[in-house]
Amino acid sequence: MQRTFRNVNEGEFYQGLTGMISHLRRQKSLIDRLQSTCPALSGTRWLSLSRVSSYLLIHRTEIINHYESLNMERRSSQQSSTFWIYLAAVNVIASDISETVQRLQGNRSLLNQQSAEIQDCIERLVKLAFAESISEEQSNLDPEQYIYSRGLRMTSNKLTKQKHLSYVSH
Mean pLDDT of 123-135: 65
pLDDT at 4 over 60: yes
- Residue 136: pLDDT band with limits 50, 70, 90: low
Write down the pLDDT at residue 92.
84
> What one-character DSSP code corresponds to residue 130?
T
In 3D space, the residue among 86, 89, 94, 1 whose CA is nearest the CA of residue 39 turns out to be 94
- Residue 157: pLDDT band with limits 50, 70, 90: very low
Tell me the pLDDT tens digit for each residue of 46-75: 678 889 999 999 999 999 999 999 887 777
Mean pLDDT of 4-18: 84
pLDDT at 34 over 60: yes
Write down the pLDDT at residue 66.
93
Write down the pLDDT at residue 37.
96
What is the C-alpha to C-alpha distance for residues 104 and 47, in angstroms, rounded to an integer? 14
Write down the pLDDT at residue 169.
41
For 71-134, strand residue ranges (E) read: 131-134
Write down the pLDDT at residue 140.
58
Q: For a pLDDT cut of 70, what percent of the chain falls above it?
A: 71
What is the C-alpha to C-alpha distance for residues 108 and 106, in angstroms, rounded to an integer? 5
Instruction: Note the pTM of the prediction, 2 decimals.
Output: 0.68
